[in-house]
Chain A
Amino acid sequence: MITRVEVVARRGPGGRTVLPVVRASGQLAVRRTGPASVHLVATAFGPLGGDDAEIRLVVEEGATLAVRTVAAAVALPARDGDRPSVQRVAAEVAGALDLRAEPTVVARGAHHRAELSATLAPGAVLTAREQVLLGRTGEEPGRWTGTTRVVVDGRPLLHTTVGLGPGAPAWLPPVAPRAYASTVHVGQAAGVLTGDDAVRLPLEDGWVATAWGAELHRVVRAAEAVA
């Protein structure tokens, strides 16, 4: 199934953010849940292998936008073949974007690809959080591939691809975690911080914090501790 979402946040009269464009088709609906916040609501089971979702977020100068989801997404295998499900988030930010989805759970046999491509103007603020769990309770892990590319003022700031789950080349014992959490922030600098299976790395005017382990709730706490 093809899913397309588009939200544009603009600075309106009096400095308040208005959302002149809020569009969604396919498996996601968009609900306005605050003056400058939207929730993405899944309207169908999945995503399933082969599904393709593209979420375009534009935050113009002086505007702010918070994007949330209402529940964890469970990525399931294709009914036929082994195509991955794909979700691309393309963000153009001159204001402030705060993107925090609920966890993605990747069921056995599924492969989910998550891509975040953020293009920032100088002075733009970004927070993007990702939480992943491979396999539901008692289930074998699925596979997740996440790519983050952040470009600020035309220069690449961060570009990483993390592969988790069976078949990912660097997902090897003794460190082959089922749970993973990562947050990238641009807008305020922070230095290196290390923890147990958690690390924060500095970026110019920002940072990226990552944690991994066996259980998602612990990993989320570990990521928050270094964020």
Chain B
Amino acid sequence: MTAALLTLADSRLPAGGHTHSGGVEQAIAAGLVHDPSSLAGFLLRRLTTSGAVAAGLAAAACGGGDPAGLDDEADARTPSPAVRAASRQQGRGLVRVGRRAWASPLWDALPRAPHHPVALGVAAAAGGLTPRDAAAAAAYLSVSGPATAAQRLLAMDPLTVAAVTARLAPEIDAVADAASGRNGHVCHRDLPADSDPLLDLLAEVHAARRDRFFAS
């Protein structure tokens, strides 16, 4: 591991992730998240579905997979327009900062507003990281942002929320291992495709609201 991984997973990296709640804002509105234990359940749900998909795509993009083809695979795994828009917004933000941070010709192969996991994989490669690192960053980011959003929206104790996230470490590692465990070039169709229709529904209801604090 190198410090580039810490930079990539740092919530202070100005890639725009802080404006997204990863569905937590709507989950709170729907009464599904209201305390540390329901937050832990929500995060696990997110980690094992969209987090696993992101980890697979990021690992493949870092390992030299064709970014345009992976971006198509990301679209196919993200049928919700609201989730798609959030992913592309964050991907674009990451490209903006990543290009400056880690100069590499790899960036030029990306579509204009790529899905975030694909951009993350390219950033990891440009920063000299491995596919396993890219998968770990993707898996971690799938819960760290939503956890912070929940803390802010519910005025939860920051120490409690930090503990909730930290206790997910074994599950985050497992998702990253599974996503990068398939050595060499993975056939795109074999990448994880785990989905949670509940998260899609929450995202679409959220996108139609006018009184929201977070972009997603």
Contact = CB atoms under 8 A, between A and B. Distances in A.
Most B-side CB within 10 Å, residue of A150, A159, A161, A208: A159
Contact of A156 (B72, B197, B205, B208): B72
A161 B188 CA distance: 14
A172 B41 contact: yes
A79 interface: no
B200 interface: yes
Contacts of A208: 79
Given A147-B193, A201-B79, A155 B198 contact: no
By DSSP majority rule, is chain B's interface helix, strand, loop, or mixed? helix
B177 interface: no
For the side of the interface on A, what is the size category? 20 to 34
Contacts of A162: 194-197
A198 interface: yes
B195 A156 contact: no
B75 interface: yes
A155 B72 contact: yes
For the side of the interface on B, what is the size category? 20 to 34
Given A201-B80, A201-B204, A169 B197 contact: no
A173 interface: yes
Given A161-B194, A169-B44, A197 B201 contact: yes
A220 to B, nearest CB: 15
Interface of B: 32, 38, 41, 44-45, 48-49, 72-73, 75-77, 79-81, 188-189, 192-198, 200-201, 204-205, 208
A198 B197 CA distance: 8
Contacts of A201: 79-81, 200, 204
B207 to A, nearest CB: 8
Interface in A187-227: 192, 194, 197-199, 201-203, 208, 210, 212
A170 B49 contact: yes
A191 B188 CA distance: 27
Contact of B198 (A149, A158, A163, A175): A175
11 contacts: A156-B75, A156-B76, A156-B188, A159-B73, A161-B195, A172-B44, A172-B45, A194-B201, A198-B201, A210-B200, A212-B198
B48 A199 contact: no
Contacts of B197: 162, 182, 199, 210, 212
